[in-house]
Structure 1
Amino acid sequence: MDFVYRPSEYELKLSVLFVVKNLKTSASAPIISEIISSVVETDFFELGHLTHTLVESENLEVFEIDSNKVFSITDTGEDTLKFFYNDIPFSVREKFIKKIDEVNRQVYLDSLVTAKVYPVNEKGETMVQCEINDLGERIFNLELTVGSFNVASSIAEKFKQNSEEIYQEIIKLLS
């Protein structure tokens, strides 16, 4: 069994600041918890309490995006982290960086191909919007209105799985 480091409350607070600062996506409580608890011994509830104290001490700000609470580091939090950066053990920081890089990479990959389903009206018609993005630019956008949520969901799933083939076939048919 591997040894799992048990940080102090102080080190956990610094860890939360470190993770929030280095994420390139919305820093929600589940993402923060996933990253930190994969490296050190802690749990979601302890991290939730510490995150709340960091908000109260104005080291973090909390925002609501799509009904989800997300956290952002403040100038005070940046200063705190800069000053006490070395109080997070080097090996723990390195593991955090590795896990944060994995999360950031997955978020980037997920942003390349998206397919979203939206209700259109009360008759059950649903829209599916399929996109392919490259280097932050949308290179393909397809919106379809279909008769049901199930059909739209199926289209969205198939698009995510076969986006390159679908894109090539549409271009071939229209060229």
Structure 2
Amino acid sequence: MSRTGFIQNELDLKLLVLYIMDRAVAPITFLQLLDLALCDAGVDYFSLTEAVNHLTETEHLSLNGELYSITEKGRRNIEICQSSLPYSVRLRCDENLVKLNDTLMRQAQVQTGLQPNEDGTCTVRLYLADEAGPLMELKLISPSLAQGQTLTSKFQQSPEAIYHEIMALLVRHSQEESDSSSEQEA
């Protein structure tokens, strides 16, 4: 039975995988790769599994835990061969990658962590960055793990608003100190 879609053989599938991995802004899971690769009717789960395993064995991809990333060898090969992929497949991949890359960048920019302490408290880490680099890294002691989880959840919902509130509070406090010292001098 002949395949439908533009991806017709193992080489096409490997090129598709390398194309996707080269454009992902961070390492991704197999399921994320599968979701992106299903942009063509010629792709199926089992063939993709074989292609990814082979690319990992030949060191075109690396696997760290559950996350795949492209190696320099893979980047060199896809740079040379990407024009072999049909334009329509590349276009669909690029469209699908926009949403995933936004999610991956957001995960890199907004991070939280919890570390239970021996006394029953927990250390909460809140981190916010933008394209230029880190904006804020805050560590707090929470009285319990449950409250720490609440803090991290709230931070992940609106990290920018929390950052702006902290900045406004610090600026307001600084202005009040400046105003009170000016009054004392007069």
For normalisation by structure 1, the TM-score amounts to 0.80
Q: Which amino acid aligns with 1:160?
A: Q
Residues 1-175 of structure 1 aligned to structure 2 (within 5 Å): 5=5, 7-8=7-8, 9-37=10-38, 39-41=39-41, 42-58=43-59, 60-64=60-64, 67-75=65-73, 77-121=74-118, 123-174=119-170, 175=173
CA drift of 1:148 comes to: 2.4
Moved more, 144-153 or 106-115: 106-115
State the number of aligned residues: 166
Q: Which amino acid aligns with 1:100?
A: L
Unaligned runs of 5+ in 2: 174-186
CA drift of 1:83 comes to: 4.0
More strand by share: 1
Root mean square deviation of aligned Cα: 2.3
Q: In the superposition, relative to structure 1, how do residues 151 and 43 fare at CA in structure 2: closer, same or farther (>3 Å)? A: farther
Q: Distance in 1 between matches of 2:160 and 2:90?
A: 37
Percent of aligned pairs with the same residue?
22
CA drift of 1:107 comes to: 1.7
Q: Which amino acid aligns with 1:128?
A: V
Unaligned runs of 5+ in 1: none
Report if the CA contact (8 A) 2:30-2:66 is conserved.
no
Q: Distance in 2 between matches of 1:11 and 1:135?
A: 34
For normalisation by structure 2, the TM-score amounts to 0.76
2:184 match = none
Report if the CA contact (8 A) 1:113-1:132 is conserved.
yes
